[in-house]
């Protein structure tokens, strides 16, 4: 079967996206999904995303990591699927869709995609890191010398080590630029490498910086290898809410491949 796909990237986090409203894709074929994401033998991507119909909202997002396994929420992928839904004329500039972690509002404004993330009530603080789930699990750790850090080596040790082990966590290394601006490099679970940015990751970093008192701001700039992202939020004594991940999402090319 010939499958039409669209290659998208959001600040360098890249995805193969397929319109699966006719349910033509065999979602159990994880080997095939991994092969499509392979950077040498396939199209190459950090993740594989299906857009599907939903009875209650504009569409459903199904996300797979590059290892072929269905995974938890992808923030950059969420921004890209909103751009894809507009390209398909499923939506105008405002939408509500469903993903594995629930409902998400989104809007396209001034060429940027604004994606609302789930509320976060629990942020665990440890001696040298914080842990929180922003739709995907994230370990957040301050470092110095971020530019020269071996993210893959250091990140995989944390991702596979205790307490995360096989289930794992994504790992974000952070350096403060100013009180409302942070540089972030992320090791992504399921890609098992550094990605150029991670949407749920920079969201976790913004909230962790506020929780740990490194910022009092609620509109945070995150500088990633793939470009700038913004996270805005409100908070009260029950936690963080009205959380928005804001950044660009581009279609790079369209193609066909035998599925
Ligand atoms: N690798 C992540 C999912 C994708 C997250 C990332 N691509 C994002 O933009 O949030 C995990 O398995 O938890």
User: Which domains does the chain possess?
Assistant: 2-104+249-258 (3.10.310.10), 123-247 (3.10.310.10)
β-strand partners of 174: 142, 184
Asked if residues 103 and 73 have their Cβ atoms less than 8 Å apart, the reply is no
Backbone angles phi, psi at 85, to 5 degrees: -65, -35
Query: What gap in Å lies between CA 168 and CA 161, rounded to an integer?
Result: 8
pLDDT at 259: 87
pLDDT at 116: 99
pLDDT at 203: 99
Query: What gap in Å lies between CA 141 and CA 151, rounded to an integer?
Result: 12
Give the residue among 225, 184, 224 at the shortest CA–CA distance from 207.
184
For ligand 1, the distance from its centroid to the CA atom of residue 200, given in whole angstroms, is 6
Residue located via tokens 């993330």: 117
Judge whether 37 counts as a catalytic residue: no
| Cβ of 186 less than 6 Å from ligand 1 | no
pLDDT tens string, the chain, 259 residues long: the values are 899 999 999 999 999 999 999 999 989 999 999 999 999 999 999 999 999 999 999 999 999 999 999 999 999 999 999 999 999 999 999 999 999 999 999 999 999 999 999 999 999 999 999 999 999 999 999 999 999 999 999 999 999 999 999 999 999 999 999 999 999 999 999 999 999 999 999 999 999 999 999 999 999 999 999 999 999 999 999 999 999 999 999 999 999 999 8
| Helix 75-87 and helix 199-211, axial crossing angle in degrees, nearest 10 | 130
| Cβ of 188 less than 6 Å from ligand 1 | yes
As a 3-state breakdown, the chain gives helix, strand, coil percent values, each rounded to 5, of: 20, 45, 35
| Cβ of 65 less than 6 Å from ligand 1 | yes
Residue 118 is classified by DSSP as: P
pLDDT at 155: 98
User: Which ipTM value was assigned to this complex?
Assistant: 0.94
């Amino acid at each position: 079967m010939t499958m039409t796909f669209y290659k998208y990237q959001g600040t360098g986090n890249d995805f193969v996206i397929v319109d699966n409203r006719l349910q033509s894709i065999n979602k159990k074929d994880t080997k095939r999904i991994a092969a499509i994401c392979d950077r040498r033998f396939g199209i190459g991507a950090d993740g594989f995303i299906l857009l599907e119909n939903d009875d209650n909202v504009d569409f459903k997002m199904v996300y797979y990591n590059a290892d072929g396994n269905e995974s938890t929420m992808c923030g950059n992928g969420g921004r890209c699927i909103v751009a894809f839904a507009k390209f398909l004329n499923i939506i105008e500039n405002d939408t509500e869709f469903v993903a594995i972690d629930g409902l998400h509002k989104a809007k396209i404004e001034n060429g940027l995609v604004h994606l609302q993330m789930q509320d976060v009530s629990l942020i665990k603080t440890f001696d040298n890191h914080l842990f929180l789930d922003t739709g995907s699990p994230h370990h957040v750790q301050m470092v110095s010398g971020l530019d020269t850090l071996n993210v893959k080596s250091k990140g995989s040790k944390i991702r596979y080590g205790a307490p995360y082990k096989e289930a794992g966590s994504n790992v974000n290394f952070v350096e403060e630029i100013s009180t409302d601006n942070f540089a972030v490099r992320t090791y992504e679970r399921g890609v098992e490498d550094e990605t150029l940015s991670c949407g749920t990751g920079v969201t976790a970093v913004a909230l962790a910086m506020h929780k740990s008192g490194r910022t009092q701001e609620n509109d945070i700039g995150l500088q990633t290898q793939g470009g700038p992202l913004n996270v805005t939020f409100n908070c009260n004594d029950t936690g963080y809410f009205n959380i928005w991940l804001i950044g660009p999402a581009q279609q790079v090319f369209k193609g066909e491949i035998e599925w």
